[in-house]
Amino acid sequence: MSVSAKLVQAVFVIPPRVHLLDITGPAHVFYEAADYGAPLKLHFCNIHTQESSIQSSSSLFLSNLINYNELDLQPGDVIFVPGLESSLLMGDGFLTSSRAFQYWLKKQYDDGVKICSVCTGAFLLAEAGLLTNKECTTHWKFTDRFQTRFPQTLLKSNRLFVKADNIYTSAGVSSGIDLALFMLEELFGSGFAAKIAKEIVVYIRRTESDPQISAFMQFRNHMDQRIHTVQDLLSQSLDKKLSITELAAEVFMSPRNLTRLFRKTTQISIGDYLKKLRNERSVHMIADGYTMQAAAQSCGLKSTNQLRSIIKNQVNDGLMLR
């Protein structure tokens, strides 16, 4: 592990009505890193001074928070600002009451601290003036509101996370974990980050260029359990050549009915759906260090030339491999 000797302080901000996974996901990643020997110290602070206990959006209370202005941060330290209930961000009351925190956040950035947001936490960064003329992202559900409120930002939709200088913004929820792993990679190297990903059972590390919605999650917004079963079979058997007849038998349908129902339910053919799964998984495997041959075989591709063509298309589309 190429760990620097310098202690890195990681601050996790707890705003009112915080989204729990936005904060606990990245915090757990950093906790595991510290447990593995990384020189990290974790802090949990408030947004309003003297507010030592906060009720989350799911009603769980978090307590013993320290005042943000009592922290003594140094260049290279990290601050995570999570998402919170949108009703607070859409009104002026909370944004006005948190103005002092925003000034403090801007000063930390000016002093060389790395500022990260998860989900709608990007609204607080933008309010603090940190995202003006900078590329950024937020949860897909709030991109229109964000762009309307902050037209001077360079919003990137459908991105998991975006780095702009020492500012990192992520799309929300699980992408906060992806961002935290990316931060560990920057701090301590890719090998160490991979160990932590394995420890927390994140076997596919998503990167900055990945879309917010994976092919493995797309086309699943339906209620037909038979089609879900077929989709599960396909995603779990990418290295196999399952025929339509075999798939249909698993859900007690005829091949013709399955083909028709799959397209009607998902708006995509079985062949095109399988292609999307194989393409995405193969690109991730290459990014994680697998050989071209191993990735191609594991994903049921015909040859390494086919995989090279997939990677070339990814690059041409601006989705660069890490």
Residue 96's identity, in one-letter code, is T
- The last residue of a domain, from among 147, 169, 199: 199
Residue 104 belongs to a domain: yes
Last residue of a domain, one of 149, 164, 199: 199
Based on the domain organization, do 261 and 177 belong to the same domain? no
Say what the pLDDT of residue 313 is. 64
Instruction: Give me the number of domains the chain comprises.
Output: 2
Q: What does the pLDDT read at residue 298?
A: 82
**Residue 305 lies inside a defined structural domain of this protein:** yes
pLDDT of residue 294: 84
Whether 141 and 231 share a structural domain: no
2 within some domain? no
Dihedrals φ, ψ of 162, to 5°?
Answer: -135, 135
Pair 103, 163 in one domain: yes
Instruction: Please report whether residue 267 resides in a domain.
Output: yes
Residue type, 184: L
Q: Kindly state whether residue 209 falls inside one of the protein's structural domains.
A: no
Q: Are residues 184 and 237 in the same domain?
A: no
CATH number of the domain where residue 252 is located: 1.10.10.60
Residues 26, 247: Cα–Cα separation, whole Å: 39
pLDDT score for 217: 60
In tens digits, what is the pLDDT along the chain, a chain of 322 residues?
445 568 999 999 999 999 999 999 999 999 999 999 999 999 999 999 989 999 999 999 999 999 999 999 999 999 999 999 988 988 888 989 999 999 999 999 999 999 999 999 999 999 999 999 999 999 888 889 999 999 999 998 777 888 999 999 998 777 888 889 889 988 988 778 878 887 887 645 555 555 545 556 678 767 788 998 898 888 888 888 889 999 999 999 999 999 999 999 989 999 989 888 888 888 777 776 778 888 888 888 877 887 777 766 654 544 444 3
pLDDT, position 212: 45
Do 57 and 195 lie in one domain? The reply is: yes
The predicted structure's pLDDT at residue 302: 74
Nearest to 182 by CA among 172, 192, 173: 192
For residue 152, give both structure tokens: 């001077």
Cβ neighbourhood burial of 305 (10 Å; 0-12, 13-18, 19+): exposed
Same domain flag for 259 and 180? no
Report pLDDT for 45: 97
Flag whether 3 is in a domain. Answer: no
Q: Where in the sequence is the domain holding 78, given as residue range(s)?
A: 8-199
Strand order in the sheet with 114-118: 40-45, 8-13, 78-81, 114-118, 167-170, 161-164
228 and 287, same domain (yes or no):
yes
Among candidate residues 199, 223, 250, the one where a domain is terminated: 199
From residue 150, alpha-carbon distances to 92, 154, 156, 173, 204 in Å are: 14, 9, 13, 22, 33
Contacts of 247 by beta carbon, 8 Å cutoff, 6+ apart: 230, 233, 234, 255, 258, 270
Instruction: Quote the pTM value.
Output: 0.67
Same domain, 186 and 219: no
